[in-house]
């Protein structure tokens, strides 16, 4: 139940979200021309299927043009592994994976220097990631998640225009809980309640231009 989230669970979600924000910030700095959905694709793919992590690790291994992407990709993979582990009550492994993700997030920003000293990597690295994102298989895996996300944003706007406001993205996801479950089932998307709140609250944070005016942070003036 949402109201019985443990203190450990809340701490974990805080650090997980913070790490993903750092990875996203590093990604936007190092690859400004690439779609931010790249990291969400990686996160969702590993969250749904642990075997996908091995494939991604091979695709973005530390060699040649993939060197600059490796810390960000590995950090994202570790975040997804950490979330999967916590959902399956593997607390120790979850925190260990999150610690690795934090390490990769910290080192990812240092890859900015490679843009100066090895600029020849930039084009090839971006093209490989774009190819992976735009592949038929990649689109098929991400499509159900994007469908749910877009419908959620539509519902937020619909109620928001009627005067409804929320204080956090997580509150929005909980408010539309049943609607999300219904849309996910129609899209043949299997998702736990914990993953639903974690994933879509993070996605809503990246849709600020669409829903920002319906968020009224605590303490804000009327």
Q: Based on the domain organization, do 71 and 164 belong to the same domain?
A: no
Report the distance separating Cα 99 and Cα 79, nearest Å: 9
Q: Per-residue pLDDT tens for 88-105?
A: 888 889 898 889 888 888
Class of residue 47 by CB neighbours under 10 A (exposed 0-12, middle 13-18, buried 19+): buried
Identify the pLDDT of residue 121: 43
Instruction: Residue 44: name the closest of 1, 21, 76 by CA.
Output: 76
Q: Based on the domain organization, do 70 and 26 belong to the same domain?
A: yes
Please indicate whether residue 190 or residue 219 has the higher confidence score (pLDDT).
190
Q: Show which of 134, 155, 184 is a domain's final residue.
A: 134
Q: Based on the domain organization, do 126 and 19 belong to the same domain?
A: yes
How many structural domains comprise the chain? 2
Q: Per-residue pLDDT tens for 124-159?
A: 544 554 455 455 455 556 677 888 888 899 899 989
For residue 82, the tally of other CB atoms under 10 A from its CB is 25
Q: Based on the domain organization, do 108 and 153 belong to the same domain?
A: no
Asked if pLDDT for residue 17 goes beyond 60, the answer is yes
pLDDT band at 222 (very low <50, low <70, confident <90, very high): very low
Q: Based on the domain organization, do 118 and 157 belong to the same domain?
A: no
Asked if pLDDT for residue 75 goes beyond 50, the answer is yes
Q: Show which of 83, 113, 134 is a domain's final residue.
A: 134
Q: pTM for this one?
A: 0.50
């Amino acid at each position: 139940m949402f109201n019985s989230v443990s203190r450990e669970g809340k701490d974990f979600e805080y650090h997980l979200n913070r790490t993903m924000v750092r990875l996203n910030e590093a990604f936007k700095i190092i690859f400004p021309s690439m779609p931010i959905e790249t990291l969400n694709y990686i996160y969702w793919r590993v969250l749904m299927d642990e075997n996908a992590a091995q494939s991604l690790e091979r695709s973005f291994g530390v060699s040649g043009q993939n060197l600059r992407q490796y810390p960000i990709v590995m950090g994202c993979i570790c975040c997804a592994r950490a979330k999967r582990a916590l959902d399956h009550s593997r607390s120790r492994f979850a925190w260990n994976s999150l610690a690795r993700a934090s390490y990769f997030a910290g080192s990812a920003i240092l890859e900015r220097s490679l843009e100066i000293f090895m600029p020849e990597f930039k084009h090839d690295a971006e093209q490989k990631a774009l190819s992976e994102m735009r592949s038929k298989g990649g689109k098929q895996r991400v499509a159900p998640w994007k469908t749910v996300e877009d419908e959620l944003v539509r519902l937020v706007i619909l109620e928001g225009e009627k005067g409804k406001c929320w204080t956090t993205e997580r509150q929005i996801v909980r408010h539309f809980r049943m609607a999300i479950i219904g849309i996910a089932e129609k899209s043949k998307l299997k998702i736990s309640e914990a993953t639903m709140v974690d994933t879509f609250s993070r996605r809503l944070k990246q849709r600020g231009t669409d829903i920002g005016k319906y968020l009224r942070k605590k303490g804000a003036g009327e």
